[in-house]
Amino acid sequence: MLLLAFDTATPVITVAVHDGSRVVGEASGEGAMAHGELLAPAIRDAMAQAGAAMGDLTDVAVGVGPGPFTGLRVGVVTALTLGSTLGLVTHGVCSLDVVAADVQVGGEFLVATDARRKEVYWARYGGDQVRLDGPHVLRPADLAAQHPDLPVFGQGAHLYADVLRSAGGAGAPRAAALAGLVVAGRVAELPLEPLYLRRPDAVPQTVSKRA
């Protein structure tokens, strides 16, 4: 097995190559509007670090969100293209589950990422890192009111630490964690479709015809 995993649901673009036993290559980049420019070089660097060619891959895994429209589209389309052209087994995973995989606590917790518009994408997890509720999108104050006693991990927790009970630690999704989840079969896989949860910020303009 040689699995290529990546996530573009946040400004952090993260890539990992896993051989079924361990991560053998990693790369990352950051840019809120540069996913298209950063993903391909990061894939190339991770594959070079692994000492592998694209033809050696057997699987591809991608974080399907939730996240902003443009970033998710870049990741999902790339995974679909690689799966189709190379005949790879494809895996879609909720990006919040990837963050949760890096959390080590004794009880329930929340994962929150930045949804812009002063909102967060969030989900609730048990101590075994299994998702119990979500993903949803909500204002931080409303999330805090719903779950005042639960620690919150992820970029949304850092961004709204004045409102949410930020526990520090896990931040952006890591492709290495994504790969580990897929290899271990410890995640509920999703279709390779962007998980937006709401309409994109940018929509095509319609021009009305005059009679």
- For 126-177, how does the pLDDT look when each residue is reduced to its tens digit (9 = 90+)? 989 999 999 999 999 999 999 999 999 999 999 999 999 988 777 889 999 9
Whether residue 170 contacts residue 99, with contact meaning beta carbons closer than 8 Å, is answered with: yes
DSSP letter string over the chain? --EEEEE-SSSEEEEEEE-SSSEEEEEEEE-TT-HHHHHHHHHHHHHHHHT--GGG--EEEEE--S--HHHHHHHHHHHHHHHHHHT-EEEEE-HHHHHHTT---SS-EEEEEEEETTEEEEEEE-TTS-EEEEEEEE-HHHHHHH-TTS-EESHHHHHTTTTS-B--S--S--HHHHHHHHHHT-S--B-SS---SS--S------PPP-
pLDDT band at 209 (very low <50, low <70, confident <90, very high): very low
How far is Cα 131 from Cα 136, in angstroms, rounded to an integer? 12
Omega before 135 within 30 of 0, i.e. cis: yes
- Percent of the chain whose pLDDT exceeds 90: 78
Where exactly does CATH 3.30.420.40 map onto the chain? 3-95+173-184
pLDDT value of residue 35: 86
Whether residue 160 contacts residue 122, with contact meaning beta carbons closer than 8 Å, is answered with: no
Q: Which CATH architecture has domain 103-159?
A: 2-Layer Sandwich (3.30)
Give the amino acid at 28: S
Where exactly does CATH 3.30.420.200 map onto the chain? 103-159
pLDDT value of residue 202: 44
Length of the chain counted residue by residue = 211
Is 3-95+173-184 CATH 3.40.228.10? no
